[in-house]
Structure 1
Amino acid sequence: MQLALPSAATLTQRLYQSLRDWIQEGKLGAGTALPSSRQLAHELGLGRNTVLGAIDRLAAEGFVETRRGAGVFVAEWRPEALTSAVSASGIAAPSLSARGRRILDFSGVLSDRYTAFAPGVPALDRFPRERWQRLLRRHRQRAPLEWHDYQHQGGVPALREALCDYLQLSRSVRCRPGQILITQGAQQGFELIARLLADAGEAVWVEEPGYGGAQSCFVAAGLDTVPLAVDEEGANVERVPRVTPPPRLIYVTPSHQYPSGVTMTLPRRMALLDAARRHGAWIIEDDYDSEFRYASAPIASLQGLVDDAPVIYVGTFSKVLYPGLRLGYLVLPEALVDAFKRANARLHREGQYVAQAAVATFIAEGHFVRHVAKMRGLYRQRQAQLRRALAPAVARGLVLSAGQAGMHLVAELDSFELETEMVSRGREAGILLSPLSRYFLQPPGRPGLVLGYAGATETEIASAGRWLSDSWCQLHIRHGR
C-alpha cells in the first residue's frame, strides 16, 4: 500500500481509498478481519487517529463492520448491484424511456465548436458587458436580505412593471404587472403551461415546421402533438383534419414564424382565436424575436388583438440580451396568475433576483431600447453580408427566405439527399448546418437549411457563406440541376 506518493489528499483520505479499492477489487474478501487500528498505524507509520478516521468512513459507507469484542471485518456486499450489467459486447447501454427517446429526436447535435450559422444565437460580441456588470454589482450590493430566501412573488416587482410598460407600448399587449410571471427562460414557461393546462394524452396543435424546444416540452409532458400546417400566411387551422382530437393547447409564433419566417395574417389570427374558443383551448403565443423587424414596425401581439383573448404570451431575453441570462416571462390571464405562481414556486423555485433587478434597471435607464435598436441595424447588415456571400448560388437557383425579420434565413433545397450531403460536408468543414427537415413533426417535411447569421461577425459570415455557396454550386452541378 503506497501512501507516500505526492497527492493533494490527506493521509486519512488516501488510506480510506486504498482499503476501499482492495475491498472492491476482491483483494479483501467478505469476512476478512482487518488488523487493529494500532497495528495498522504501526505498520504503515501513521498516527492512530489517521487510521481510525479511514476505518470510520469505511464503516459509515458499509464496506466494513465492527463486531464488539472481535474487531473490524470486511462486510458482505454485492459488487454486481453497484455496477452496470456486462455482456459479451461490453457494458450495456442505459435504457431510455420511449418519451426520453422522443425528446432526443428534437435535440440537435451538441457542439462546442463555433459556427457562423447557429440559429437563435445573438451578437454576444456586441452586448454591453461592462455596463451590465456594473448593474449586477450595484444590485448585488444592495440586495435585500429576503432575496436570499425562497421567493414566490412571481419575479422582482420592478422588472414586471418595466416589462408591462414595454410590452404595452411595443407589442400592444394587454396586461398589468401582476399578470407577468418571470421564469428561467421560455422553455420553463412552456413546461409550466403544458403541465398545468393539459393532461397526458391530450392534444396540442403545434406549427409544422416548428420550434423543437417547444415540441420537446410538450412531449415531455406526455401530450399528443398534432401538426398545424404553415404556409405563406402562417398557421392554418382550417387544414387540420376533422378527425383530429380537439386541442387543449395551440402553440404558434405568429409575429415571425419559426423557422419559415412568415407573419400570420389577420384573417388567420382571427380564425385561430375562433378555433381556440370553439375548442376551449389556450393559445401559446411565442414571441421570441419580434424586436428584429427590418421593413416595418413590430407586429402587434395576438394576445392584444381582442378582449379576453384565450392567449398566454411567452417572451424571453435570450435573443435580445444573451441566452446565458436564462430569463423569460409569461403574460397570463388573470384567472391563471395565482395557480402559475404557486406551481412555479413549487416545481422550479424562483431565483436570479439580482439579475432580474439589473434587467429592470437596464430597461428603465433606456439601455434596453438602445441595445435593441443597435442590434436591429447590426443584424440587417449581417443578413446583407450573408446574402452577398450566397449571391453566386442564388444566381444559379438557390432560393432564400425573405428575411424581413429575425436572426436567420432559410435556404430551400431540391432534395433530402442534397440536404443530407450538405450537412455532412459542413460537419467535415467544421460548420454545423441545421437541416430544415428536423423542424417537422411528421416526415418527410421539406429539405432545406436554417442559417443563423446574428451571432457571427461579418468576416465569419463572408467566409462560411462562400464555402456554403461553393458547396451548393458543386452539388447542384453534380446532381444535374
Structure 2
Amino acid sequence: MAKSRTNHPDWSIFVPVLPEKGPRPQALYAEIRRLIEEGRLPPGSKLPTTRDLAARFSLARGAAVVAYEMLVADGFAEARVGAGTYVARVVPTVGGLVVRERKRPPEPQGPLPGALGCSTADETTIRTFRTLLNRHLTQPSARHYHYGQPAGGEDLRIEIAAYLRSARGVRCEADQVIVTSGTQQALDLVIRSLLSPGDAVWIEDPCYPMARAAFSAAGMRLAAVPVDGEGLDVAAGERLSPDARAVYVTPSHQFPLGVTLTMSRRMALIDWARRNEAFVIEDDYDSEFRFSGPPLTSLQGIDGDGRVIYIGTFSKTLMPGFRIGYLVVPRALVGRVLEVRQLTDRFPSTLFESALAEFLRDGHFASHVKRARRRVRAARDALVEVISGAGVSVGVPDQGLHLVAEVPPEGSDVEHVTRAAEVGFGLRALSTMYHGDETRQGLVIGFSGFPADVLASAAGRWAASLARR
C-alpha cells in the first residue's frame, strides 16, 4: 500500500520564516501560530510531523515537539492519538496580524546632563551590592518565602534608626521607622493616615511639584506660604491659614530655592505646630550632600512634642532604582500609618532590605557617601565655572544636588528650558514650581548623576547657544 502523506498538501507555501537567533521552540511556535491566526492554515488541517519539521528546518526534534506542545496548550492545535497534530477546529483569527518574535526593547534614553533627580554611579558600591545580593540569593533566608512586616524588616529599620541618630540628630528607635518605596509613598501614607479631604495644609512656595500634586490629589486646601532667605515664612503661614492641619517643608535645603530654614524659623514652626496640634512633615531629601560645615540638625531632632514626621530616601544617595525610603513617625501614630501601608503595599522587598541592612551595618554606606560627595562637588564646581564664564549669575550652594541660575536675557525661563534641550542640556523652569500669585523666573540645574566633564560640556553648548543669540 502507498504510504500516506503526513504533510498538509499545500504546506510548502506556508513555510515559517524563523529568526536567525533566539530559542527555537518559541520561534517555531510563534510562526506557526501566526499562520493559524491569519487563516493561512485552516482549522482542522493537518500539521507536518515533528520529524519532518525538524528535518526541514535543521532543528532538534525536541524543539519541534515543544513548539507543538505549546500550540496544543494554547488551544491552537489538537493532538490526535495515532493520527498526528491538527490545527484546532475553533481558533481565533486576527485578520492579518503578524505574530512576531518578542524582542528586547532598546535601552531607554537617559535624562540630559543638568536634569534633576539623578544619582551618582559608583562602581565600588555596585560591586559591593552585587556581592551582597548574590549572597542572599545563594543562601536565601526563610523570610524571603513568606509575607514580611508592613513596617519593613527589623534588621534594616535598626540600621536606619542608628544612622539617623548619628548623622541627622533624629530621635528615634527602630519601632518608629517605616520602610517605604521612596518619598512619594511616604507622603501618600502620611496624607491618608493623618489628614482628611478639605484639611488645610501649608506648602512652601515654590514647592517640590510632586509633593504639591500629592496634597492636591488628596483634596487638601493648599496655602502657598512664601519662602525667603530664611526659609518658610511662618508668620505669613499663620496669616494665610491659621487653622492648617499640617505643613510640608524641606528645611535643610529648600527645594527648589536651596535656602536653609533658620533656627528662629524652626523654633517658630515647631511652636506653631504644638499650639495648633498640627503636624510638620519634614522632607530631608539630600542632607548627606553638605559641602562645608557640619550637617544641619533635623527639625525632628529639636521637636519634643511628637509633632514632626520625618521623611528620607536612599534615591539621592544610592539610586532611585532601589526604591527604598523611610518614614520616622511618633509612636502614637505608628499603628495608623501601618494600617494604611498594609492595605496598599503589604511590605517592602525583603531581598533588597537584607542587602541594604548589611551595606549600612558594615560601613559601606558611609564610604559611598564620601565618594559621591566628592564627585558631586567636582561636578558642581565645573558647572558653576562654565555658567559664570558665560555671564549668567548663579549661586554656589553649600548643600544639595542642584543650583538656581538667573535667566539670561531674551526669553522666559520656560523658553530657555526648551532651547537648552535642543543642545542637550537639561534645565527646569523655576516659575513653574510656584503655587501662589507671585512667581520668580529662574533656571534650576542639577549637578548629580553626570561626570564633571560631561556636565561641563553640556553647559558649554548651552553657553555657546546663548552667545549666538
**Please, what TM-score do these two structures have when normalized by structure 1?**
0.76
Match of 2:253 among 246, 251, 256: 256
Match of 2:315 among 301, 314, 318: 318
Which residue type is aligned with residue 445 of structure 2? Answer: L
SS of equivalent to 1:240: helix
Change (3 A) 1:247 1:346: same
Q: State the shift of 1:310 in Å.
A: 0.7
Q: State the shift of 1:302 in Å.
A: 0.3
2:3 is the alignment partner of 1:6: no
Q: In the alignment, which residue of structure 2 is the partner of 1:118?
A: 115
C-alpha distance in 1, partners of 2:74/2:325? 48
Match of 1:468 among 462, 466, 469: 462
2:431 is the alignment partner of 1:434: no
Q: State the shift of 1:246 in Å.
A: 3.0
Deviations 1:358-377 (A, max 9, x none): 11111111111122122223
Map 1:1-150 → 2, pairs under 5 A: 3-7=14-18, 37=44, 40-41=45-46, 57=75, 112-125=109-122, 128-150=125-147
Match of 2:393 among 381, 399, 402: 399
Q: Is the Cα–Cα contact under 8 Å of residues 17 and 31 in structure 2 kept in the other structure?
A: no
Q: State the shift of 1:299 in Å.
A: 0.5
Deviations 1:215-246 (A, max 9, x none): 22223333333312111100112223746473
SS of equivalent to 1:284: strand
Moved more, 130-139 or 198-207: 198-207
Moved more, 230-239 or 212-221: 212-221
C-alpha distance in 2, partners of 1:266/1:276? 15
Deviations 1:189-237 (A, max 9, x none): 1111112122223232211111122222223333333312111100112
Change (3 A) 1:351 1:473: same
Q: In the alignment, which residue of structure 1 is the partner of 2:336?
A: 339
Q: In the alignment, which residue of structure 2 is the partner of 1:182?
A: 179
C-alpha distance in 2, partners of 1:15/1:294? 63
Which residue type is aligned with residue 394 of structure 2? Answer: L
Match of 2:268 among 265, 268, 271: 271
Q: State the shift of 1:162 in Å.
A: 1.3
C-alpha distance in 1, partners of 2:351/2:29? 41
Moved more, 141-150 or 257-266: 141-150
C-alpha distance in 2, partners of 1:355/1:437? 38
C-alpha distance in 2, partners of 1:160/1:467? 45
Map 1:307-386 → 2, pairs under 5 A: 307-386=304-383
Deviations 1:104-144 (A, max 9, x none): xxxxxxx8244220223222145521122111222333332
Map 1:416-427 → 2, pairs under 5 A: 417-427=411-421
Change (3 A) 1:72 1:457: closer
Q: Is the Cα–Cα contact under 8 Å of residues 223 and 240 in structure 2 kept in the other structure?
A: no
SS of equivalent to 1:426: helix
Change (3 A) 1:56 1:180: closer
C-alpha distance in 2, partners of 1:13/1:393? 58
C-alpha distance in 2, partners of 1:449/1:463? 18
Which residue type is aligned with residue 328 of structure 2? Answer: V
SS of equivalent to 2:411: helix
Which residue type is aligned with residue 423 of structure 1? Answer: V
Q: State the shift of 1:294 in Å.
A: 1.4
Q: State the shift of 1:280 in Å.
A: 2.9
2:157 is the alignment partner of 1:163: no
Q: Is the Cα–Cα contact under 8 Å of residues 170 and 301 in structure 2 kept in the other structure?
A: yes
Which residue type is aligned with residue 170 of structure 2? Answer: V
Which residue type is aligned with residue 267 of structure 2? Answer: M
Match of 1:208 among 205, 208, 211: 205
Change (3 A) 1:74 1:370: closer
Q: State the shift of 1:391 in Å.
A: 2.6
How many residue pairs align between the two structures? 414
**Please, what TM-score do these two structures have when normalized by structure 2?**
0.78
Map 1:203-242 → 2, pairs under 5 A: 203-240=200-237, 242=239
Q: State the shift of 1:347 in Å.
A: 0.6
Q: State the shift of 1:156 in Å.
A: 1.9
C-alpha distance in 1, partners of 2:120/2:169? 27
Which residue type is aligned with residue 15 of structure 2? Answer: A
Q: In the alignment, which residue of structure 1 is the partner of 2:58?
A: none
Q: State the shift of 1:184 in Å.
A: 1.1
Q: State the shift of 1:423 in Å.
A: 1.5
C-alpha distance in 2, partners of 1:56/1:361? 45
Q: In the alignment, which residue of structure 1 is the partner of 2:450?
A: 456
SS of equivalent to 1:135: helix
C-alpha distance in 2, partners of 1:143/1:343? 29
Which residue type is aligned with residue 395 of structure 2? Answer: S
Deviations 1:37-68 (A, max 9, x none): 4xx43xx7689xx7997798489xxxxxxxxx
Deviations 1:265-318 (A, max 9, x none): 111112212232333322110001111111211100101113123111001011
C-alpha distance in 2, partners of 1:73/1:402? 71
Which residue type is aligned with residue 128 of structure 1? Answer: T
C-alpha distance in 1, partners of 2:242/2:35? 62
Q: Any gaps of 5 or more consecutive residues in structure 1? A: 28-33, 60-70, 80-110, 476-481
Q: Is the Cα–Cα contact under 8 Å of residues 160 and 177 in structure 1 kept in the other structure?
A: yes
Q: State the shift of 1:253 in Å.
A: 0.5
Q: Is the Cα–Cα contact under 8 Å of residues 181 and 329 in structure 1 kept in the other structure?
A: yes
Q: Is the Cα–Cα contact under 8 Å of residues 15 and 51 in structure 1 kept in the other structure?
A: no
Q: In the alignment, which residue of structure 1 is the partner of 2:405?
A: 411
Q: RMSD over aligned Cα, in angstroms?
A: 3.4
